[in-house]
Amino acid sequence: MSASFPPIIRTVTGHDAEGKAVVVSHGPLPHVAEIAAIPGTVFHEVWCTQGSPVNVDNGADPSLGALQLKPPTQGTRMRFVDIPPDTEDFLRQGAARMHDAFSQIGDTAASTVQAHSPHPLMHRTESVDYGIVIEGEMTLVLDDSEVPLRAGSVVIQRGTNHAWANRSGRPCRMLFILIDGAYAPEIAQALAKR
């Protein structure tokens, strides 16, 4: 597990039988998992919602269970991800491990890496993702361009083919909020031709 960053502390609120606001839980995240095929990459699952509007209740913790890359149907997913620096070995051999990596996070179809891909972590999900750099530096890699990111940078990733490349030489922590979506017909059509 990543020792570079402090643990994330989560407070979950709820209601008692009289409708009074109460703390349901407070402490470290109960679901933190390293991605075995990408050592040093750690998912810190915070919360997820299903459906819209969200059922505001005192239900069970939805962050437990198997890792899932995408948000639930008409739902959201919030997680921190610790991303280690890219290594020469990962850049050369990483593409061969992506099936295993994406299998662990429940979505092998998300990986789009091919021989000519600009980075082994190229992937796409049918969602709108807010990616916020909390600490460190990252490079957003798209099909035809790259954008350097620093702490405080925010990416609104709208279902595009992308990767997160860490060329800084030190770990980066990002916060992701994923929102389930559906491609506009013209985008779905264009993607089907690729």
Asked whether residue 52 is assigned to any structural domain, the reply reads yes
Determine the residue type at 72: P
Number of H helices, E strands in the chain: 3, 11
Grouping H, G, I as helix, E, B as strand and the rest as coil, residue 21 is: strand
**Containing domain of residue 138, as a range?**
31-192
Q: If pLDDT is split at 50, 70 and 90, which confidence band does 172 have?
A: very high
Query: Distance between CA atoms of 162 and 146, rounded to whole angstroms?
Result: 9
47-62 pLDDT, tens digit each: 999 999 999 999 999 9
CA 67, chain centre distance (Å): 10
181 has a pLDDT exceeding 90: yes
At 41, which CATH number?
2.60.120.10
67-88 pLDDT, tens digit each: 999 999 999 999 999 999 999 9
pTM above 0.85, yes or no: yes
Asked whether residue 158 is assigned to any structural domain, the reply reads yes
Residue 117's pLDDT is: 94
Query: Distance between CA atoms of 179 and 129, rounded to whole angstroms?
Result: 6
Query: Distance between CA atoms of 161 and 122, rounded to whole angstroms?
Result: 6
Residue 131's pLDDT is: 98
Query: Distance between CA atoms of 46 and 48, rounded to whole angstroms?
Result: 7
3 has a pLDDT exceeding 60: no
CA proximity to 136, closest of 184, 170, 164, 159: 170
How many domains does the chain contain in total?
1
2 has a pLDDT exceeding 80: no
Asked whether residue 21 is assigned to any structural domain, the reply reads no
142-156 pLDDT, tens digit each: 999 999 999 999 999
Query: Distance between CA atoms of 144 and 87, rounded to whole angstroms?
Result: 22
Asked whether residue 85 is assigned to any structural domain, the reply reads yes
Residue 4's pLDDT is: 79
Q: Can you name the residues that pair with 81 across neighbouring β-strands?
A: 43, 174
Query: Distance between CA atoms of 149 and 163, rounded to whole angstroms?
Result: 13
Asked whether residue 3 is assigned to any structural domain, the reply reads no
110-126 pLDDT, tens digit each: 999 998 999 999 999 99
